[in-house]
Amino acid sequence: MADTDRVGTSVGLRRRTATQPAPPPTAPAAAQASADTAPQQLHRGMTLLATISLFIGTRDAWTAAMGSRPAVAAVISLCYASILICGALSLLIRTQRVLARVDAVVLITALALAACGYLLHHAGADEAALTAQAADQIRHGHPVYGQPWPWLFNLPHVGITKTMSGGADYVYGYPPLTAVLAAPMHAVIPTTAAATMVTTGALFAATVLLWFLLPAPWRSAATAVCLGFGFLPHYAAYGYPAITALALLIPVVVRWPQTGQGGVLGSRGTLRAICLGAACAAQQLAWFFTPFLLIGLYAIRRGELGPRRALALTARYTATAALTWSAVNAYFAAQDFSAWLDGILLPLNQKAILHGQGAMGISYYFTAGSSHLDYYTYASQLLLLGLLAATLLFLRRLGPAITVLPWIAFYLAPRSQDGYFLLMTPLWLAAAATVPAAALATAWQPRLPRLNSRRAKAALAAGLLAPAFACAAVAASSPPPLQLTLTPRYATHGSQAGVTAITLRAVNTTGSPLTPHFASRKGHGASNWWTIQSGPTTLAPHTSANYIIKPPGGFRPVPAGHSPTYLIAVTATPMTITTAPIAAPATGAPAFADGGD
């Protein structure tokens, strides 16, 4: 009997062992199993696209290096081998763990290529020249803001921002953080490279930081966006302070809905606020993103904590960022508050000459001008306010795109160059990878009792944006303020035919006095200002006058062909532009001698 019981017990034990599920694996075992699984196609695709993106610009860098720095060319050749091997491995690897290592190799290859590109071209542009000069001023305790440095713009690689008042900006017009970081570097390397090293280093740091913060399948996308496509290394090598701001905004944006979760800002939330304040102290683009972020943070925390606690947490976050910003700016504000304030606000009120790829091109490139260019400014401001209002009302829908929305406003601005759009594109990726729509599902939104349908909400959103587009339409459809009749004086210099002077008749068709300034344009860029040899400074309303103007250097080539040359006349108050074509000299036309040639 006892033996039977023992047998039965043994059989029962074996049956239970066979039917019960195995205990769950421990955490290390689970991680090992996950690493050994086949990678997702998304992960393969990201790795492959990042690898392919490294080809962009690499041949040009190799060609330049072969003529000046063969050792750099040798490194680029090794990078070619790495690109080819990583491209093959991205399609052949069978486990996530090994593919993650390939991602790391792609990142290292991209950093090596970007470093080679920097070694070949690191002199920078006007941003680097201004930042390096500001760094030198800081080192010696001299004022930074309100100090014109016209000699910086004599170098061929340093451009200049011309203003609608017929002048140009020769002063430092950025918040001070990048110059502060460049000051110790400038003590060792007293050239513009001190500034470009800071911005290039910031880009490298931003790339590595974003790579580690993103989920594994997205990491190679960070490599491609930051380094592979080539445009951000280009801006970093030019010394753009916006790259510094970008690096500081990355930890702010990654998983931003988690900031202040549970009502506690904590060390991570405090660090994010410090980074936000420092980014605002590096470049003005961060200013446009900040209100969108604060609206989103308040709405998410209000949905979790209620209005009072959410407001208190958002206020602590904002105060921490503001204190950081103030700490960076305090020394410069104490030196000369008015000059400092004018300097950091300069890009917003300088009335720079039109430039860019946005709506302003209608008045600059495709029509004879506009007498209401100020309406492009109004349009940009109204669009920014409309997008902010729409974000507040529909955060659950628009929240995932708050890293993109601020830059849309620049499309309607008088200065709408593509740098305003693309310099912050890594933030777009950070939001796409770490801020799913589900993270915003419980965010607070104002109640709109009469707007329950999608059509009604869409109509409200359209109404918020309509004033901006109406202003842009006014600017684009307005006629030019001047009627110009040109009589050029032609000459030849060697094999080039061109203009030595233009006699023109200008008729002011508006009710405002105009103070015109003249330049020529071939393509998208404007020349330096032409000299007015005779003619009134200000043209009264509904009057006409004759002017004689001369190009810089006394001669402006006007070749015949499919790319015409234009004369532009601009005024600052009100902001207007008038464009008239300069006829190319006919073949065999007589050349008139000119005393200035």
| Statement: residue 458 has pLDDT above 70 | yes
- Dump pLDDT digits (tens) for 503-557: 999 999 999 999 999 999 988 888 999 999 999 999 999 999 999 999 998 999 8
Q: Mapped to the 3 state alphabet, what secondary structure does 310-321 carry?
A: HHHHHHHHHHHH
Residue 450 pLDDT: 73
Over the stretch 9-51, which tens digit does the pLDDT of each residue have? 443 434 444 445 555 555 555 545 555 788 889 999 999 999 9
| Cα(491)–Cα(504) distance, integer angstroms | 17
Least confident segment among 18-32, 45-59, 183-197, 328-342: 18-32
pLDDT at 32: 54
For residues 107-126, give the mean pLDDT.
93
- For residues 210, 211, 216, 220, the Cα torsion angle rounded to the nearest 10 degrees is 120
Tokens linked to 362: 């209608």
Strand arrangement of the beta sheet that strand 517-522 belongs to: 369-370, 576-582, 565-571, 517-522, 525-526
Give me the residue label for tokens 């920097």: 118
Closest CA to 509 of 538, 480, 466, 548: 480
Query: To the nearest whole percent, how much of the chain has pLDDT over 70?
Result: 92
CB neighbour class for 203 (10 Å; exposed up to 12, middle 13-18, buried from 19): buried
Mean of per-residue pLDDT scores for the chain: 90
Cα–Cα distance for residue pair 490/485, rounded to 1 Å? 16
Q: According to the model, what pLDDT value does residue 155 have?
A: 76
Say if residue 219's pLDDT is above 90: yes
pLDDT in the model for residue 7: 39
Angle between helices 266-280 and 285-305 (to 10 degrees): 150
Report the length, in residues, of the chain. 597
N-terminal to C-terminal alpha carbon distance within the chain = 127
Give the whole-angstrom CA distance, residue 441 versus residue 437: 7
Angle between helix 374-393 and 454-477 (nearest 10)? 170
Burial class, 154, CB count within 10 angstroms (exposed 0-12 / middle 13-18 / buried 19+): exposed
- ∠ CA 333-337-341, nearest 5°, is 90
How confident is the model over 359-372, as pLDDT tens digits? 999 999 999 999 99
When mean pLDDT is compared across 23-27, 290-294, 469-473, the lowest value belongs to 23-27
Q: Is the pLDDT of residue 243 over 80?
A: yes
Where does the pLDDT of residue 8 fall: very low under 50, low under 70, confident under 90, or very high at 90 and above? very low
Q: What confidence tier does 103 reach under pLDDT thresholds 50, 70, 90?
A: very high
Give the residue among 320, 218, 331 at the shortest CA–CA distance from 279.
Answer: 320
Classified as helix, coil or strand, 25 is: coil
Predicted pLDDT of residue 436 = 93
- Output the CA–CA distances (angstroms, integers) from residue 77 to 62, 292, 489, in the order listed: 8, 44, 54
Q: Is the pLDDT at 592 greater than 70, yes or no?
A: no
Which whole number is the average pLDDT over 173-196?
A: 94
CA dihedral 272, 276, 282, 286 (to 10 degrees): 140
DSSP state of 413: S
- The band of 4, judged by pLDDT with boundaries at 50, 70 and 90, is very low
- Cα 485 to Cα 546: distance, rounded to the nearest angstrom: 9
The pLDDT value recorded for residue 18 is 43
Mean pLDDT of the region 449-478: 89
Distance CA 185, CA 310 (A): 42
Question: What's this model's pTM, rounded to 2 decimal places?
Answer: 0.89
**What 3-state class would DSSP assign to 579?**
strand
d(CA 32, CA 71): 41
